[in-house]
Chain A
Amino acid sequence: MCGQTPVGPEISVFFQKIDLKKMKILTKEEAKKIIDKVLAYSKADEMSVNLNGGRTGNIRYARNTVSTSGESENQSLAVTAVYGKKSGTATINEFDDASLEKTVRRAEEIAKLAPENSEYMPMLGPQTYLNTNTFSENTAKIDPNLRAKAALDSILPCRENKLTAAGYMEDTAGYSAMGNSKGLFVFNKATQVDFTITVRTDDGLGSGYGIQDFNDVSLLNTKKVTEVAMQKAKASASAQALEPGKYTVILEPAAAVDLLQNMMRSMDARNADEGRSFLSKKGGETKLGEKLFDERVNIYSDPMNEEIPGSPFSGDGRPQEKIYWIENGIVKNMTYSRFWADKKGVKATPPPNSFIMAGGTKSLADLIKGTDKGILVTRLWYIRAVDPQTLLYTGLTRDGTFYIENGKIKFPVKNFRFNESPVIMLNNLEEMGKPVRIMGNLVPPLKIRDFTFSSLSDAV
């Protein structure tokens, strides 16, 4: 059904959002000037200002033709006013003096009407931030031509090979600044480009996938990513059914990242202390300081990492810094809200923006070569929590699942549904390859034993 000949008209919509209040990426000084002006209007006990702006563009294609493409710009200023323990927020996207003052008054008005929040924490004073390198001029100057070329580089090889491409690229360039009446000020500008491609054979029997993301678009080669997806589409076309059960698997980084990310986002200390987390344990204590994983498991965050540079601050202005979450299999740190950290008398470690799982030096090919029997998994799909107590997740393999024997890919296999917990998975660790950037994180390909596949799927 995914043939070259369209069944009907090519349903395409091209769009553009026009914003007459044309914005640009502000400099640190320009952002500070606006924030200071807003703060000068304040009559509240405390006030904070968040200022964001940027441009985002995208191109989408399916059935080997572009379906939508567009670009939009936006900027927004949010003012939070606080009286005692009552706070209110108002937002505006116009930055003239009258608009700014009106927004301050509105935030103050909302704050006065708001119910008191007993967990309110006074605003932070000045903080020291790392100087991270999240902005790329190459990405900031992306234009419709570059997007079209990126799409064509992906579509044309598929057309030539009687394959069908569906892909999406989205790029953003923007700045984010925050300041408050206690003297805190921080500014960062960042760029990001995300690309995904699904290639299917014309008979609908084979499907392959590729994904890549960067801060700097010059590192993105949509043709190369597409070629891997094409290869997988062709190679997966005559899938055989294997019995569901426990298998040794090699999870490509695109397959491993979701389960790991889910776990990393479940590291909140308050939930653990309240007895409702995988980090809670019998008797009311937490698993902080305990060995919960294979001793080779090391997961940390580092906004200064060159491959995945991150924002120097968290949403509420706390500095981001290098921190170990899991070291040699031991739970080293949990994330805290400022309120809970204050209550517990510990450092208020914010949730990280991304994570790095340390790995080895082997390539994916090396891992396959060293595998007697196993299954190579390209990606996992529709992952949903089944049990938050054990972090059990379900989902399916998709777009390239292969049987490995004696170090070689033998044949494609039908997709499986899995039911597995990242905690169990990281105890059944056999080997790790070299980490690669995936969805803003660094993740190695993982070889895992006894990964639980519970049923078969006919989906391609």
Chain B
Amino acid sequence: MPEKSEFIPVFVFLFQKINTFTIQILSPNETLMMDRRKFMQLSGLSMGALVSAGIPIIGNATTPEHLLETPADAAQKKLMSDIALNAARSKGATYTDVRIGRYLQQFLFTRETKVQNIVNAESYGVGIRVIANGTWGFSATSDVSKEGIAKCAETAVAIAKANAKIQTEPVILAPQKGVGEVTWKTPIVKNAFEIPIQEKIDLLMKVNGEAMKNGAGFVTSNLFFVNEQKYFASSDGSYIDQDIHRIWPTFTVTAVDKAAGKFKTRDAISSPMGMGYEYLDGLASEKIAGPNGLVGYRNSYDMVEDAIMAAKQAKEKMTAKSVPAGKYDLVLDPNHLGLTIHESVGHPLELDRVLGYEANYAGTSFATLDKWKAGNFNYGSKNVTIVADKTQPHALGTVGYDDEGVPSKQWNLIKDGVLVNYQAIRDQVNILGEKESHGCCYADNWDSVQFQRMPNVSLLPGKDKLSVLDMIKGVEKGIYIVGRGSYSIDQQRYNFQFGGQLFYEIKNGEIVGMLDDVAYQSNTQEFWNSCVQVCDKDDYRTFGSFFDGKGQPSQVSAVSHGSSTTRFNGVNVINTGRKI
């Protein structure tokens, strides 16, 4: 099967029909290959159509009201967990963890004046992981009854024992002291699932209407809401009840000039967030002024305002100057740089990938253990300090505890330009000579096995006062890039090429106009060593993705990447214009 999509792109839907639920995306290569059995099968939507649509819908379709019901409280879940822990221990497990998970999704799809689809989905079940005879075993069931759970735990142990026979070395699990009975909730103000559907439709219709009024030929808009209600218990003595919320508003505006046979698109510059519906409040206090009337959105998004700008900018792109290829100083907006951080820092520092476990899928990593051990590998310039952080407010990867019961923390990956650490979980961290897991273990559903997933990985802001406007003033020949465009990186994370949504030419400290056909190519180490300036904390904001793919069968995870606007000198820019 085509196992090639790693970072799952923003969907750009070409057409969607509510009656048949047929959904296709603009670029069919950008497919999400994930575990096919997880896709909800909507009427008329074949497996193939779902896969090519790239929408990871997990669970069964249901009503919006049903999503607000609670099937079990924490006391019941503790009881259920204890049944699993006892059953596994009595069969010989030396370690057990239980995840009782309820995963809710609400996705809205619209195009121009039409609502095309509203999906409400729920998935509920339990996953049990054990160590027996030094080997992992995992089993999952949707039968969340006492009998179902006990049987599931026994199966997990039986599988571990069977497989212990062919294992060469036992699992070394970093210790984790039990945390007792605790709860953690994403600090939301408005639960998106409680907001009436009509209010959401009204917003999207306004977004589409304003875009059309301002020159868009076509517009699609979407709202994605996710709520993970996860109960984790382990034989370490942890009973962790978590309620995690995520939101992602997005759209694509298309301008068309039929006479010239040309079209241009502009995607939303929103960011998916670990927030409630309050992200859509569009607070003025969370707006960051950029050059040319551009606005950066921090922790509050004005979707209608962005749609109006998008329509105008898509039209402007039609007549923008095609970029002359060459070396430019790049000024990269956080909504663009986030993806570059994700691909060139986040993935290469996943320890399982470094060790070769992902060799047949996304590949390995240039950031080998010898480079880390040397203690002086210059990943970037001294301006580059990149942190892994599971505690960052409003970020997608932020939780209280990971999916193996480890409290969230922050640690350095790159300190003052030097590679200092990786991302590792309980059964990996001994390889790094550490005694505690980093706490970045995640499973995308109750029926999938938890494994190492990328925490929020962010570039720290510069210490000196510097705004984006000041940064541009210092650039003689450069390009200011906003938003996430085309992106591609090799299987060891050396060579990459990135596009964007908006490109502005900088000449002698000023923006002189829009550019088109821009993509930059670089090498990870060269690129981060060309980092000369980072704006201060007032410019800091996050970029994110709901659907980062990893593993076979593939699982998704949500992750944010924060940064301030950053300058890179002398980067190679190519012209992507072609005639066919």
Contacts and interface: CB of A to CB of B under 8 A. Distances in A.
B151 to A, nearest CB: 7
Interface string B505-539: 00000000000010101010000000000000000
Contacts of A60: 360, 552
B275 interface: no
A115 interface: yes
Given A20-B143, A166-B360, A458 B27 contact: no
A250 interface: no
A315 B27 contact: no
B262 to A, nearest CB: 7
Contacts of B260: 282
A8 B488 contact: no
Residue among A12, A261, A351 having the largest count of chain B Cβ atoms under 10 Å = A12
A268 B170 CA distance: 53
Contacts of B62: 90-91, 106
A197 B360 contact: yes
B491 A13 contact: no
Contacts of A98: none
B492 interface: yes
A49 B151 CA distance: 33
Nearest to A68: B449
B28 A17 contact: no
A266 B578 CA distance: 17
B163 A14 contact: yes
B19 A117 contact: yes
Contact of A62 (B171, B360, B576): B360
Given A2-B364, A389-B263, A383 B217 contact: no
Contacts of B6: 382
Nearest to A93: B60
B138 A13 contact: yes
Nearest to B578: A390
A87 interface: yes
B507 to A, nearest CB: 25
Given A196-B3, A390-B579, A48 B217 contact: no
A164 interface: yes
Nearest to A398: B491
A19 B142 contact: yes
B357 interface: yes
B1 A48 contact: no
A274 interface: yes
A276 B41 contact: no
A58 interface: yes
B258 A386 contact: no
A315 B552 contact: no
A168 B552 contact: yes
A62 B357 contact: yes
A330 to B, nearest CB: 15
Given A52-B47, A115-B115, A398-B490, A266 B28 contact: yes
Interface stretch (B129-137, B328-336, B411-419): B129-137
Given A89-B42, A439-B1, A458 B19 contact: no
Nearest to B171: A9
Contact of A110 (B14, B63, B159): B63
B259 interface: yes
A439 B37 CA distance: 18
Contacts of A119: 17-19, 114
B29 A258 contact: yes
A89 B369 contact: no
A182 to B, nearest CB: 13
A178 B42 CA distance: 11
Contacts of B356: 1-2, 62-63, 164, 166, 200
Contacts of A223: none
A76 B15 CA distance: 25
A394 interface: yes
Interface residues of B, number: 129
Interface stretch (B243-251, B290-298, B393-401, B425-433): B425-433
A353 B51 CA distance: 12
Contact of B497 (A9, A275, A394): A394
A391 interface: yes
B574 A9 contact: no
Given A87-B19, A311-B46, A52 B490 contact: no
B553 interface: yes
B138 A14 contact: yes
Interface in B522-569: 523, 552-553
Interface stretch (A131-139, A369-377, A402-410, A415-423): A415-423
Given A117-B115, A262-B28, A459-B363, A315 B61 contact: no
B97 interface: no
Contacts of A433: none
Contact of A417 (B9, B43, B114, B497): B497
B552 to A, nearest CB: 4
Interface in A54-108: 54, 56, 58, 60, 62-63, 65-68, 70, 72, 74, 76, 78-80, 82, 85, 87, 89-93, 106
Contact of A384 (B18, B116, B359, B486): B486
B179 interface: no
A213 interface: yes
B495 interface: yes
Contact of B14 (A54, A67, A268, A382): A268
B140 interface: yes
B21 interface: yes
B106 to A, nearest CB: 13
Interface stretch (A234-242, A321-329, A356-364, A449-457): A449-457
Given A13-B138, A76-B40, A106 B63 contact: yes
B139 A18 contact: yes
Contacts of A90: 60-63
A50 B41 contact: yes
B486 A385 contact: yes
Contact of B21 (A19, A89, A176, A382): A89
Contacts of B352: 11
Residue among A54, A63, A276, A391 having the largest count of chain B Cβ atoms under 10 Å = A276
Contact of A89 (B61, B151, B259, B493): B61
Contacts of B114: 117-119
Interface in B418-473: 427-428, 430-431, 447, 449, 451
A385 B22 CA distance: 22
Interface in A278-293: 278, 280-284, 292
Interface in A163-204: 164, 166-168, 170, 172, 176, 178, 194, 196-198, 200, 204
A454 B572 CA distance: 11
Given A63-B357, A198-B360, A351 B4 contact: no
A219 interface: no
B488 A382 contact: yes
Contacts of A110: 61, 63
A117 B27 contact: no
Given A10-B169, A168-B360, 15 more contacts: A12-B171, A63-B355, A117-B114, A167-B360, A268-B24, A283-B259, A284-B258, A284-B259, A315-B20, A395-B488, A458-B366, A458-B495, A459-B491, A459-B493, A459-B495
- The 7 A-B pairs of least Cβ separation, nearest first, read A265-B28, A315-B46, A80-B43, A15-B138, A282-B261, A457-B495, A166-B359
26 contacts: A2-B364, A9-B171, A10-B167, A12-B135, A18-B140, A20-B151, A92-B60, A109-B63, A113-B63, A117-B114, A166-B360, A170-B552, A196-B1, A265-B29, A266-B28, A283-B259, A284-B258, A383-B29, A387-B576, A392-B576, A394-B486, A417-B490, A417-B497, A455-B495, A458-B366, A459-B490
Interface of B: 1-4, 6, 9, 14-15, 17-22, 24, 26-30, 35-37, 40-49, 52, 60-63, 114-116, 118, 129, 135-143, 148, 151-152, 155-156, 159-160, 162-163, 166-172, 197, 201, 217-218, 254, 256-263, 265, 352, 354-361, 363-364, 366, 368-370, 427-428, 430-431, 447, 449, 451, 486-495, 497, 499, 517, 519, 521, 523, 552-553, 572, 574, 576-580
